[in-house]
């Protein structure tokens, strides 16, 4: 799915959509009579909107992931480069004037592996993000969210975090409110360590527990991403006693020398320190890496999930994959689809 631009509805909602959020929309008279007035300050958009459709939430790849230490509170310190790719979820937002926050799963069953896909939890990150923003801004408005999931869960691709970030950005426009950038990032970090990255607008060098974000320009690239059916617990990986937690600190300059070399080999710098432990816990990760190796590709795990990836230097035939595996060719994005929001 290409990460397309969102469409904004200011007055009359569009008709004839293939996938709409299935809730009765208020008439213009109902809207004008029940819509609470919001103070127009420098921290608000001009006015609430009726709806915003087709909001993209892209996945990310960790080109490398090093664990450099551990804080006294148990959080791990990391270094990584996050790269946005064109594997996207899609969200739709419709204004509610009763203050309620509801969410609808729009994902067809056949979009997942042949065995099907688990239903979204009632309190997923999009709902939590909406409630947190509603409270932080003190608005009495609500929203009905339609979520079409395409990014697989437990993949290490940041699908839930990306959904939450796109939700925060879209709801500020829908409700006509805005937090200061620092406050929005703090709110995002309270919801999940990866969410601030998806607010940053592009690829990034990420440090700390995920809160230290430095934008980086990266050459465009193509990848193949492989997601086996089995997942792996992030908590179990980070709790493993044999996890390497003392990798030497890397530098942006060192990564850039590799990324911008004559071959532009983005996924050969460093390693993913979580991969040995995760492969032991989830043998399908090792099987996926072996499958990529059989195609003369150097693969590695992304994030703390079971998806693996490899940079594509040429076209390849990936037919004949084991049943239940998701195989997808992806391209890097030039910037986040909501950059500037």
Of 60, 86, 163, 227, the active-site residue reads 60
Is 194 one of the catalytic residues?
Answer: yes
Distance (Å, whole) CA 185 – CA 199: 8
Distance (Å, whole) CA 202 – CA 332: 10
Could you identify the residue written with the tokens 């790849």? Answer: 61
Of 86, 163, 194, 273, the active-site residue reads 194
Could you identify the residue written with the tokens 């799915």? Answer: 1
Closest CA to 199 of 164, 223, 149: 164
Distance (Å, whole) CA 127 – CA 138: 16
Query: How many CB atoms sit inside 10 A of residue 308's CB?
Result: 29
Closest CA to 157 of 239, 244, 91, 226: 226
| Distance set, CA 317 to CA 152, 164, 261 (Å) | 22, 34, 27
Distance (Å, whole) CA 329 – CA 317: 11
So which residues are the catalytic ones? Answer: 60, 194
């Amino acid at each position: 799915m290409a990460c397309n631009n969102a469409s904004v509805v200011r007055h009359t909602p569009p008709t004839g959509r293939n996938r709409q959020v299935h809730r009765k929309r208020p008439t213009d008279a109902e809207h004008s009579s029940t819509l609470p007035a919001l103070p127009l300050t420098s921290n608000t958009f001009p006015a609430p909107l009726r709806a915003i459709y087709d909001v993209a939430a892209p996945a990310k790849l960790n080109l490398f992931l090093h664990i450099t230490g551990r804080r006294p509170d148990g959080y791990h310190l990391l270094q990584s480069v996050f790269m946005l790719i064109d594997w996207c979820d899609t969200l739709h937002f419709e204004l509610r004037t009763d203050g309620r926050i509801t969410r609808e799963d729009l994902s067809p069953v056949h979009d997942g592996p042949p065995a099907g896909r688990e239903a979204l939890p009632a309190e997923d990150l999009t709902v939590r993000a909406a409630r947190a923003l509603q409270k932080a801004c003190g608005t009495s408005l609500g929203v009905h969210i339609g979520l079409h999931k395409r990014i697989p869960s437990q993949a290490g691709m940041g699908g839930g975090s990306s959904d939450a970030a796109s939700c925060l950005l879209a709801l500020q426009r829908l409700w006509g409110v805005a937090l200061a950038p620092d406050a929005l990032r703090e709110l995002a970090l309270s919801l999940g360590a990866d969410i601030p990255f998806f607010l940053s607008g592009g690829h990034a060098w990420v440090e700390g527990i995920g809160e230290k974000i430095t934008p980086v320009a990266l050459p465009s690239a193509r990848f193949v991403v492989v997601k086996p059916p089995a997942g792996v617990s992030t908590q179990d990986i980070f709790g493993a006693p044999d996890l390497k937690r003392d990798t030497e600190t890397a530098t942006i300059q060192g990564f850039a020398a590799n990324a911008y070399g004559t071959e532009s080999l983005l996924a050969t710098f460093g390693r993913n320190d979580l991969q040995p432990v995760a492969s032991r816990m989830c043998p399908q990760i090792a099987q996926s890496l072996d499958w990529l190796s059989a195609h003369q590709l150097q693969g590695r795990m992304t994030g703390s999930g079971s998806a693996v990836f490899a940079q594509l230097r040429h076209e390849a035939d990936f037919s004949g994959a084991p049943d239940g595996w998701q195989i997808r060719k992806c391209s890097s994005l030039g910037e986040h689809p909501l950059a500037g929001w």
